[in-house]
Copies of this chain bind each other. A is one copy, B any other.
Amino acid sequence: MAGNPEFGQRIRDLREAKKVVDPTFSLRQFAQRVGISATFLSKIETGEFDPPRAEHIITMATLLEVDADELLALADKTDPELGDIIKSEPKAMADLLRTARDRGLTVEDLERTIRYMKKQS
């Protein structure tokens, strides 16, 4: 890795949009609220540096009021929480995911599966 312009641009767009109505969304202040330096955020937004760790991305999503999974996906990371879920039942969860992949399930298929799960419990 060495920078992710798509992620950076997305953060910048979201932040600038927020800044219009709330000037505390300046790069410096936003960085501080996220818990990283302005330097780092600048390089991330311009695509020079890689996205920060998942934890910081999640904080960004909260502040920017967008879905964390979307930002994490752009950053090519996964929510550590999902790793924990998998670890709670490794074989079954791994099977579940691999089956979804091997069968080439569509988003609709997956959504139907989720509804099915909900009926079981």
Binding site for B on A (CB under 8 A): 67, 69-70, 72-73, 76, 78-79, 81-83, 85-101, 103-105, 107, 109-114, 116-118, 120-121
Contacts and interface: CB of A to CB of B under 8 A. Distances in A.
Contact of A92 (B87, B96, B104, B111): B111
Identical subunits present: 2
23 contacts: A67-B91, A69-B90, A72-B90, A73-B87, A78-B83, A78-B90, A82-B86, A82-B93, A85-B98, A88-B101, A89-B107, A92-B114, A95-B114, A96-B96, A99-B114, A99-B118, A103-B117, A105-B120, A105-B121, A109-B117, A109-B120, A109-B121, A116-B116
A76 B87 contact: yes
A77 to B, nearest CB: 8
A96 B120 contact: no
